[in-house]
Amino acid sequence: MPVLHDWTGNAIGEVSLELRVAKPASAKNIVHRALIRQLNNARQGTASTKTRAEVRGGGRKPWRQKGTGRARAGSNRSPLWRGGGVIFGPKPRDFDIKMNRKERRLALRTAFFSRLEDIVVVEDFSTNLPKPKSKELFQALGRWGVPTDAKVPPKVLLIVDRKDETVFLSARNLPNLILIAADQLNVFDIVTAKKIVVTAPALAKIQAVYQDQKVAEAEAVQPDDASVTEPKASKKSSKKVSIDQQESK
C-alpha cells in the first residue's frame, strides 16, 4: 500500500490502491499497443511531396529522341533530374489506430499500477500555496523524494484531482514537470516519467473514473436486496406447459 506524505514530507498514513490490471502474460503487449496508438494518433500526417505530374514545367521534350548520343528524355521534371518529382514520397495520410475503450482503460490501469514503486502519494497541498510560488513547490518535490539536484532534472508527473490556478502557475516554470488532471491520464506520460507524484484526492478519482465496469457493477449489487425478482421461465419450459394444457383439454 502506498504511503501518504504531508506537505513537509513526513509519512502520515497509508492509502489503498485497487485497480483491475491485465494478466502478467498480456500486460506488456496491451501497454505497448496503447502507447503505439497514442504516438501514432498524435501524428498530423500532413507531409506531402510532389510527383513528376505535380511539379510545374517539363512540358517540352528536352531534346530529340535519337541522334544526340545521350539517354532519351521526355521531361526535365523526371525524378532522375534535379528539380524533378519525388518517387514514392510521403503523401497526406491518417495514422490513427483504433483500440477498444475497455482495452485502453485496461492498458492505462496496468501502466499506472506497474509504476507503483515510483509513485509518491501526498495530501492535497493547494492550501499550502496561498500564492503562486515555483520555489516552494520545487522544495516540496525534494522533500517528497524527487531528485532535484541534477543538472537535468528528471521528468516528474504531477497528478491532481483538479487543475488549481495557484498550483498550475507554480508548476509551469519547473523544468520537466508535467501537471495533469486525474481524469486526463495517458500511457505515454505514465511510462516515461521517472517519478509520479499524485495527491490523495486524485488517487481516489483515478480509482473511481478508471475502475472496471464489471467490478463497479458487482460492488453495486446487494445480494440481500428484497427487490430482486426471480428469473423468468425459459421459452422451453413455457412451451411444455402449453402442450400439457392442450393434452388435458
Each residue's pLDDT, cut to its tens digit, for the chain (249 residues) gives: 788 999 998 988 888 888 899 999 999 999 999 999 999 999 999 999 999 999 999 889 999 999 999 999 999 999 999 999 999 999 999 999 999 999 999 999 999 999 999 999 999 998 888 899 999 999 999 999 888 887 788 899 999 998 889 999 999 999 899 999 999 999 999 999 999 999 999 999 999 988 765 555 554 454 544 444 444 544 444 444 444 454 444
Strand, helix or coil at 12? strand
Number of C-beta neighbours around residue 61 at 10 A: 12
**CA atoms of 206 and 112, how far apart (whole Å):** 10
* pLDDT for position 149: 81
Domain map (residue ranges) of the chain: 3-43+98-215, 44-65+75-94
Q: Can you name the CATH fold of 3-43+98-215? A: Ribosomal Protein L4; Chain: A; (3.40.1370)
Residues of 127-157 as b/e, b for ≥16 C-beta within 10 angstroms?
ebbeebeeebbbebbeebebebeeeebeebb
At 167 the pLDDT is: 93
Written as one string, the DSSP assignment of 179-231 is: EEEGGG--HHHHHH-SEEEEEHHHHHHHHHHSS-HHHHHHHH--TT-TTPPPP
- The per-residue pLDDT for 164 is 87
Q: SS3 of 163, please? A: coil
- What gap in Å lies between CA 132 and CA 94, rounded to an integer? 41
